[in-house]
Amino acid sequence: MAAHAHTVKRYPGFLGWLWDWLTTVDHKKIGILYLVAGGFFFVIGGIEALFIRLQLIRPLNNFVSEDTFNELITMHGTTMIFLAAMPIIFALMNAIVPLQIGARDVAFPFVNALGFWTFFFGGLLLNIAWLTGEVPDAGWTSYPPLATTAYSSHHGMDYYVLGLQISGIGTLLGGINFMATIINMRAPGMTFMRMPMFTWTSFITSALIVLAFPALTVGLVAMMFDRIFGANFFNVDAGGNIILWEHIFWLFGHPEVYILILPAFGVISEVISTFSRKRLFGYSTMVFATILIAFLGFMVWAHHMFTTGLGPVANALFSIATMAIAVPTGIKVFNWLFTMWGGSIRFTAANLFAIGFIPTFVMGGVTGVMLASAPADFQYHDSYFVVGHFHYTIVGGLVTGLLAGIHYWWPKMFGRMLHEGLGKLTFWFYMIGFHLTFFVQHFLGLLGMPRRVATFLPNQGLDTMNMVSTIGALLMAVGISFFFINIVITSLKPRHATNDPWEDGRTLEWAIPSPAPEYNFKQIPLVRGLDAWWKEKLEGNKEMPPAEPLGPIHMPSPSILPFIMGVGLFISGFGFMYNLVFAVIGIAITLLCMALRSIFDDHGYHIEPDEPKKGEVAA
Amino acid sequence: MSAHDHHAGALPPEPEKATLEGRNKILGFWLFLGAETVLFGTLFSAYLAFRNSVLDGPRPEELFQLPMTFIMTVALLVSSLTSVFAVQAMHRHKTGPMLGWLAVTIALGALFLGMEIYEFNEYVHEGHRFTTSAFSSAFYSLVGFHGAHVAFGILWIGLVILQILKKGLTVVTAPKVYVSAIYWHFIDVVWVFIFTVVYLMGKV
Amino acid sequence: MNRWHAGKKLALALMFGLIPLLAACGRADLSALNPQGPVAQRQFDVLVVAVGIMTLVVVVVFALLIYVLVRFRRRRGDNSIPEQVEGNHKLEIIWTVIPIILLIILAVPTVGAIGKFAEDYWDDPNAVQVKVTAYQYWWEFEYPQYGITTAQELVVPIGKKIAFELVAGDVKHSFWIPAIGGKMDNNPGLTNRFYLEFPTPGVYRGKCAELCGPSHAYMDFKAKAVDQASFDRWVAAMQGPAVLPEDDNIREAFVSKCLTCHAVGDQGSPIGPNLTGLGSRVTVAGILFNDTPEQEYVIDPAKTEENIKLWLEDTQAVKPGNMMPSAGDLQLTREQIDGIAKYLANYQLDYE
């Protein structure tokens, strides 16, 4: 193997800076790209949510038209789940997992970049729909026949189908990458049962992604074939079956919600443990419970279809299976509580979010058990009760967990601590606003308000609660605004964070400078137990013991090909909608880049151990 | 990346696994095949849901020609065997025979593909088009997707052959051979299921 | 300041939670929390079991959390490292077994109710059969036992099992009368069967519960439960011959422009909603109410007439995306619109 250590060409000025970000294959930079892009789409999804709530602030409102309302709910759900929540999850996974396992990067840095750019261009394609006036409007679940060309003849649903396919490729690649990384690249001494919980949940989440996303791909391809090429998967008159879409979609869709929440579980385990100064209570049980949740998550999809008419046997089986998931989830909640028990709890902003997660997610979980009961679900399904439930788990659960993780790991990613006071303001406005917005929605559903309604009639007892819900949404917006102000203010401060700024870090990422240097670890560490860094600190060590001698560090080369491949897919998306020639051109560009990547092997470059490192701060 | 040893010219016994990159690529590819299994599994489910929804189009019994399908199956199975021979040659560091077997592999793959294109063409003339019915859409999606995978494999292995000719067999190029061979085995296994579920069951 | 964090949050949540709780029961014609029939009642009972169990869980978790936050918060100046506890086998078993038991407690009534609600009364001689076909954006109700079809307002006798066959004529819809029972989907190409019972006479509000287009929110329908004698009279009236407008011009316009899609009595076409006895219905187009605020569900024909004109003049303004052309598209004159509206508003069936 050729060992030429060429240095990386770095260009000066703004264009050089831009080129650096467009060609990076560094997991730390890719993590930041995911965070920025995810944050951008989160703001778009949030504005869509505000418009929805403003329309519903009073009965028979006409803030937006009925068509626009259906577009808003479709885009809000799709954007938030696929383009905001998942990318921010990937941001944290990218930024932290390689550090936590003592690796220098992920298994496939090039593919990592490719994953980001395909996600980004898929998301861009979807949201460009707003600019064309042809916006998807059949719900994020896109049920046929409403989603077929017979009832949705404009290009809206095509943006959905194509944007998500392209974005989904990115997610799938990310899942494969993290699984391979965690299996093959752990530092010496780090057995599976010595991995931090966030790494464990990232691992299991990645497995879920690898096994669930292909089902979505098939569904989207079938819908695309129906819409663009005249196929008959969902054309009832030609023998098609609309229930098939529901099965395929939810076969993906249910594991998807576990893909969303498991990383948050991982964050909570880390944050609570660190700020209680105690190891995680029941570590092996937590690992086992996470695996069980993931496994059971594949067995319950039809609880989204109780009213479809599958029959009593199917409904009974899926009810029981769904209820079963409550057991490992409950185990996790109690283990968190007992991690704090006997500890020394510090109420940082990050910890406030983690603590706030617990009662909120439990509330979301118990309404989930209520929904699991099929006969009762006949009342709840497709009503605001469900809207309340999934927002409690996804927003009150996942987003709260992500906010905890972002506040916690901000110093490791950026070398600065977010302002604590603003963080606490964010927490209070966001949390109180959240409960105001979504608690009342459970009652709205039970009082007879279906979901996805552009408005509601007066004198049905729904007026006050809808107004309360809208006010809550405005409060949440205020909270999130404080968060963005915090980011801006913090970025103006100098990079003063130490390697272990919370002082109680337990895991390997806190053993290296903040932000992490380009090569992560000067020497790969030797891991001697669970919570490896904490263990070393307790024994009076200031550094991790090395597992290899000092020497030149081999790094993967940056490449513009992932960006170009993303552009190629983006072009092909438009091509499928408007002119098939461009579909072919776009795919050809992508395939050509793949071929180039194969032909021109990357030999990487070397960093010498005593080279001055950009941005390094003394520990 | 860990220190790599520099025995000038001497390849290790399993060259594809000699480097971390190689091991990562092999593992990553197995994981990708896990995803592909779910993908084809879902396509099979859709096909099974629609296998009787023929509308006015020809029924499976009328359409499928088992003799030709049998020849296609043999071609693909043999091509999988030749890819095994190629990897064995690689482990014995015999680049020439390895490339030879790889070439036979893709030749047989091209034969398979050619016959399949001919078969689809026949079907279209018999009134079994992509848009005819739910059955036909599901059939062409499942079998067509597999065919696309074969086509991609032919291009990929072709490119690998060219690369080995240029760069020789090294610890960098060996994983490419190994991974493309695993891919080829996968599409062969999928074909066995297609042959059984679509063609054999379609004749019953 | 920190020790109050969780307490403050909880107090605020409880406060805001109480407001809706107090208003919880809801309208008797609309709320699932105010069940007016045995199916809704049984579903409410399952809900109560679930809420009971879940409240217990929530209270335990909240209590533990508050205790922990107060008791183990870091005191000022305390830099000690707490004892690092690996876990506790006994506790793990407790908080695995107890939830399993709680779930079994919920699973039993769940499975029981699933069985009950799956009973098929379609061929029961004592049941009333109703075929529900859902369209964008209206509901067709066909009674095969009586050979009649109506739309938007389902009339049923009290005390009998009403056996439904649900199907959709275009996209997916879902048939939901919350006060009477849970919903079942209307799928195109596949029929679903379920049943409901209406023990108490009254008008109940029905909602479409599956996104079906821009007017999904306007696809309301009503279910009117009446005593058996009234129901029999209604059926007889529906079976009667068509009552057409008296005035020749209006009748001619009505027959040539309206009966191409609609039907009254034995005349007309089944494409659009059946208009027989429209004047007896609580709403026009499902959401324009014909009653007055003073007397709910008591029909005022003047109001009905006004609503029909509102509808005819611009159907898209009332229900965007619906299939019915407006008066302008049909080239109806002002006189014809007024005449048809008056005729339909006064087309009442005498059965109550």
Q: Do residue C107 and residue A320 have CB atoms under 8 angstroms apart?
A: yes
Q: For residue C191, is pLDDT > 50?
A: yes
User: Are chains B and A in touch, 3+ Cβ pairs below 8 Å?
Assistant: yes
Burial of C261 per CB tally in 10 Å (0-12, 13-18, 19+): middle
C-alpha separations of B4 from A524, A547, B171, C201, C226 in Å = 16, 16, 10, 86, 88
Q: For residue B185, is pLDDT > 60?
A: yes
Q: Is residue C203 part of a domain?
A: yes
A446: Cα within 13 Å, side-chain hemisphere: 25
| Residue of C69, C167, C175, C185 to mutate when probing chain A, most A C-beta within 10 A | C185
pTM, to two decimals:
0.95
Give the ipTM of the model, two decimals please.
0.94
| Residue of A218, A229, A245, A301 to mutate when probing chain B, most B C-beta within 10 A | A218
Cβ-based neighbours of A123, under 8 Å, separated by 6 or more: A37, A41, A79, A82, A83, A87, A163, A167
Q: Do residue B54 and residue A239 have CB atoms under 8 angstroms apart?
A: yes
Q: For residue C24, is pLDDT > 70?
A: no
* Average confidence (pLDDT) over C6-16: 56
Q: Pick from A131, A138, A153, A119: which is nearest to A228 by CA?
A: A153
A370: enclosing H helix or E strand = helix A349-372
Ramachandran area for residue C195 (φ above 0: left; ψ -120 to 50: alpha; else beta): beta
Q: Are strands A605-607 and A553-555 parallel, antiparallel or unpaired?
A: antiparallel
Residue type at B108 in one-letter notation? L
Predicted confidence band of residue A609 (pLDDT cuts 50, 70, 90):
confident
Query: How many whole angstroms separate alpha carbon A261 and alpha carbon A201?
Result: 9
Q: What is the pLDDT of residue C23?
A: 45
Residue type at A598 in one-letter notation? S
Q: For residue C6, is pLDDT > 60?
A: no
Cβ-based neighbours of C259, under 8 Å, separated by 6 or more: C267, C268, C269
Q: What is the pLDDT of residue B3?
A: 43
Burial of C293 per CB tally in 10 Å (0-12, 13-18, 19+): exposed
Q: What is the pLDDT of residue C10?
A: 60
Chain C nearest C-alpha distance from A486 (Å): 21
Predicted confidence band of residue C293 (pLDDT cuts 50, 70, 90):
confident
Chain A nearest C-alpha distance from B33 (Å): 9
Q: What is the pLDDT of residue A9?
A: 73
Tens of pLDDT, residues A176-229: 999 999 999 999 999 999 999 999 999 999 999 999 999 999 999 999 999 999
Cβ-based neighbours of A513, under 8 Å, separated by 6 or more: A498, A499, A616, A617, A618, A619
Alpha carbon A609 to its chain's center: 35
Q: What is the pLDDT of residue A460?
A: 94
* Average confidence (pLDDT) over A586-603: 95
Predicted confidence band of residue B204 (pLDDT cuts 50, 70, 90):
confident
Q: What is the pLDDT of residue B9?
A: 58
Query: How many whole angstroms separate alpha carbon B143 and alpha carbon C192?
Result: 33
Domain segments of chain B: what residues?
Answer: 66-203
Q: What is the pLDDT of residue C306?
A: 97
* Proportion of chain A above pLDDT 90, given as a percent: 96
pLDDT, chain C, mean: 93
- C172 and C147 within one domain: yes
Domain count, chain C: 3
| Residue of A176, A248, A602 to mutate when probing chain B, most B C-beta within 10 A | A176
Cβ-based neighbours of A191, under 8 Å, separated by 6 or more: none
Q: What is the pLDDT of residue B7?
A: 47
Q: Which chain B residue has the Cα nearest residue A182?
A: B24
Q: For residue A421, is pLDDT > 50?
A: yes
Tens of pLDDT, residues A75-107: 999 999 999 999 999 999 999 999 999 999 999
- C161 and C224 within one domain: yes
Q: What is the pLDDT of residue B8?
A: 47
Q: Is residue C311 part of a domain?
A: yes
* Average confidence (pLDDT) over A310-337: 97
Tens of pLDDT, residues C242-281: 999 999 999 999 999 999 999 999 999 999 999 999 999 9
- C280 and C188 within one domain: no
Query: How many whole angstroms separate alpha carbon B154 and alpha carbon B167?
Result: 20
CA-based torsion, C322, C323, C328, C334: positive or negative: negative
Angle at C137 between CA C265 and CA C308, to 5 degrees: 55
Q: What is the pLDDT of residue C11?
A: 52
Please list every residue in chain C whose beta carbon sits closer than 8 Å to the beta carbon of residue A157.
none
The DSSP code for A615 is T
CATH of the domain at C184: 2.60.40.420
A619: enclosing H helix or E strand = none
Query: How many whole angstroms separate alpha carbon B173 and alpha carbon B156?
Result: 13
CATH architecture observed for domain A13-559+602-607: Up-down Bundle (1.20)
Query: How many whole angstroms separate alpha carbon A457 and alpha carbon A459?
Result: 7
Tell whether C68 is within 8 A of chain A (Cβ): yes
A241: enclosing H helix or E strand = none
Cross-strand partners of C288: C284
- C133 and C113 within one domain: no
Report the SS3 class of residue C114.
Answer: helix
Angle at C91 between CA C87 and CA C95, to 5 degrees: 125
Query: How many whole angstroms separate alpha carbon B126 and alpha carbon B116?
Result: 15
- C32 and C99 within one domain: yes
Tens of pLDDT, residues A520-561: 999 999 999 999 999 999 999 999 999 999 999 999 999 999
Domain segments of chain A: what residues?
Answer: 13-559+602-607
Q: Do residue A222 and residue B141 have CB atoms under 8 angstroms apart?
A: yes
Decide if A523 contacts A549 (C-beta within 8 A): yes
* Average confidence (pLDDT) over C67-86: 95
Q: Do residue C320 and residue A277 have CB atoms under 8 angstroms apart?
A: no
CATH architecture observed for domain B66-203: Up-down Bundle (1.20)
Q: What is the pLDDT of residue C352?
A: 84
| Residue of A210, A548, A587, A594 to mutate when probing chain B, most B C-beta within 10 A | A210
**Cα-Cα end-to-end distance for chain C:** 67
Pair of tokens at residue C237: 């009236």
Give the 3-state DSSP-derived string for A377-440, with helices as H, strands as E and coil as C: HHHHCCEHHHHHHHHHHHHHHHHHHHHHHHHHHHHHHHCCCCCHHHHHHHHHHHHHHHHHHHHH
Chain C nearest C-alpha distance from A533 (Å): 15
Tens of pLDDT, residues A273-304: 999 999 999 999 999 999 999 999 999 999 99
C-alpha separations of A569 from A324, A586, B2, B179 in Å = 41, 6, 35, 25
Q: What is the pLDDT of residue C17?
A: 56
Chain B positions contacting chain A at CB under 8 Å are: 1-4, 6, 19-20, 23-24, 27-28, 31-32, 34-36, 38-39, 42-43, 45-46, 49-50, 53-55, 130-138, 141, 159-160, 163, 167, 170-172, 176
pLDDT, chain A, mean: 95
> Which candidate from C61, C185, C211 shows the least CB-CB separation from A359?
C61
Tell whether C47 is within 8 A of chain A (Cβ): yes
User: Are chains B and C in touch, 3+ Cβ pairs below 8 Å?
Assistant: no
Range of the domain at C174: 128-232
* Proportion of chain A above pLDDT 70, given as a percent: 97
Tens of pLDDT, residues B131-176: 999 999 999 999 999 999 999 999 999 999 999 999 999 999 999 9
- C331 and C284 within one domain: yes
CATH of the domain at C29: 1.10.287
Predicted confidence band of residue A611 (pLDDT cuts 50, 70, 90):
low
* Proportion of chain C above pLDDT 90, given as a percent: 91
* Average confidence (pLDDT) over C183-212: 97
Last residue of a domain, one of C206, C232, C258: C232
Predicted confidence band of residue A619 (pLDDT cuts 50, 70, 90):
very low
Q: Is residue C350 part of a domain?
A: no
